[in-house]
Amino acid sequence: MGAAAPVMTLAAVDLGASTAVAGLAVALVGLGQVLGGIPSGQLVARLGERASTIWGTAVGLTGVLLCLLAPNVVVLCAGLLITGLSNAVWGLGRMTYLAEAVTLDRRARAMSLFGGAMRLGFFLGPLLGAGAILAVGIRGGFVVQFVAFLVAGWMLARVPLPAGALSEPIATAPISLLGVVHRHHLVLCTLGAGSLLMGAARASREVILPLWAHHIEIDAATASALFGLAAALELVFAYPAGHLMDRFGRVPVAVPSLTILSLSYLAVPLTYSTLTLGAVAVALGVGNGIGNGLIMVLGADIAPPGIRAEFLAAWRLTHDCGAFGGPLLLGVLAGAAPLAVAALTIGGVAALGAVVMGRYIPRHIPWPAQPLPQKVNS
């Protein structure tokens, strides 16, 4: 995905799309992920984790192939939407696997490292994509994505399943998404609201930084370097974040993460140079980095064992809706009001997320979640 992200807009423009249509085309990946999140829980529960991973790979490869060979913008948009659908199945499969495979005392470290590995992929992907672009043209990023998708699908299909994982189809009918929402509406409407707000706060940094850099006349290369610096800091904080969550609970990571994001967005209108915007980019990287794996950890903490896949599908949907809605809100505000208003609004969203997380995590996830083992004197 990291290799393809920089070329999605360029491919649409190369096929004759306007800037607005190109931006909409890229948003289709997020829309596909939201739409795919609706049936993904039943799919994993009905087919099993392994079969779902294989089908998700096949669908994703189809989407990437359409992007690679698209003769027009319509086919490109269809490919991007299909790729987003497959991401939803993959996301749920890996989340369910980790929830089953890792014990509670190591859960946060494992999931934070996993989140760090994903960010490493997004950091290295554009570098590999750049080489492919030089070799085959603008769509070289899709070539890297196709090969990576194929290899990753093959590897995931060979991963040993932990005890209790859904390796085979279940005999009973899975519960629907509406059924999960009805049964667990309290946690989804409270802690799930915090997940939605965090998704919006995280995704919006990818929009506000380049827009503000353009606003204060920073060139594209420098803006890209600032992005790289923020991404590097996110990787640095992956393991420390998990260690803190395993030792002290989820609140001491969730609230500072969103608070730092909020203060960073509120500071964006005060920046006027590369140095000042770079400081904000660093703060955004730190704020997002210490939240590495947090949503996966919270979902694994509260997922009922009997309907784990179906519940995690609903849980992921809260975050995905925020990740899709945050940049959309920014785009609307940027078109209707000064850009500073958009930055301040997202800062408010992040601050509200910090309040919601601080209020409802202890309610649904008491810490410590289980008695700690007693030391035995020799």
Specify whether 35 is located in the same domain as 84.
yes
Residues 253-307 have pLDDT tens digits of 999 999 999 999 999 999 988 889 889 989 998 998 888 889 989 998 898 877 8
High-pLDDT (> 70) share of the chain, %: 92
Does the residue 348 lie in any domain? yes
Please check whether residues 192 and 332 belong to one and the same domain.
yes
pLDDT in tens, 57-108: 889 999 999 999 999 999 999 999 999 888 888 888 788 888 888 888 888 8
Residue ranges of the chain with pLDDT lower than 50? 166-171, 371-378
- Residues 151 and 182 reside in one and the same domain: no
247: containing domain: 176-367
- Residue at 97 is within a domain: yes
For residue 3, what pLDDT is reported?
A: 83
Model pTM score: 0.80
- Answer yes or no: is 171 within a domain: no
Whether residue 216 is contained in a domain is answered as yes
Does 63 reside within a domain? yes
Domain end among 113, 137, 162 = 162
Asked whether residue 108 falls in the same domain as residue 35, the answer is: yes
Q: Are residues 80 and 190 in the same domain?
A: no
Say if residue 153 is in the same domain as residue 231: no
Does residue 260 sit in the same domain as residue 126? no
Q: What is the pLDDT of residue 209?
A: 81
Task: Give start and end residues of each alpha helix (H) in the chain.
Answer: 5-14, 19-47, 49-69, 73-101, 107-136, 140-158, 177-183, 185-215, 220-236, 238-248, 251-267, 274-289, 294-302, 308-336, 339-364
Please check whether residue 1 lies inside any domain of the structure: yes
Indicate which CATH number applies to the domain containing 318.
Answer: 1.20.1250.20
Q: Cα separation of 247 and 316, whole Å? A: 25
Of 95, 127, 162, the last residue of a domain is: 162
| Whole-number pLDDT of residue 61 | 93
Say yes or no: 135 and 256 in one domain: no
Q: What letter represents residue 172's amino acid?
A: T
Q: What is the predicted pLDDT for the residue at 255?
A: 95
Is 373 domain-assigned?
no
Per the structure, how many domains does the chain have?
A: 2
Q: Are residues 204 and 73 in the same domain?
A: no
* Nearest-angstrom CA–CA distance, 112 and 103: 14
- Please, which contacts does 236-240 make with residues 24 or more away whose CB atoms are closer than 8 Å? 236/289, 237/286, 237/289, 237/290, 237/292, 238/112, 238/113, 238/115, 238/116, 238/119, 238/289, 238/292, 238/293, 239/109, 239/112, 239/113, 239/116, 240/290
- Domain stops at, among 128, 162, 196: 162
| 191 in the same domain as 87 | no
Q: How far is CA 303 from CA 122, 189, 313, 325, in A?
A: 28, 15, 10, 24
Structure confidence at residue 376 (pLDDT): 44
Per-residue pLDDT at 219? 75
- Output the pLDDT for position 251: 93
Question: Does 146 share its domain with 43?
Answer: yes
Shortest CA distance to 37 belongs to which of 264, 361, 235, 318?
A: 318
Alpha carbons 358 and 225: distance in angstroms, whole number: 34
Same domain, 200 and 241: yes
> Does 85 reside within a domain?
yes
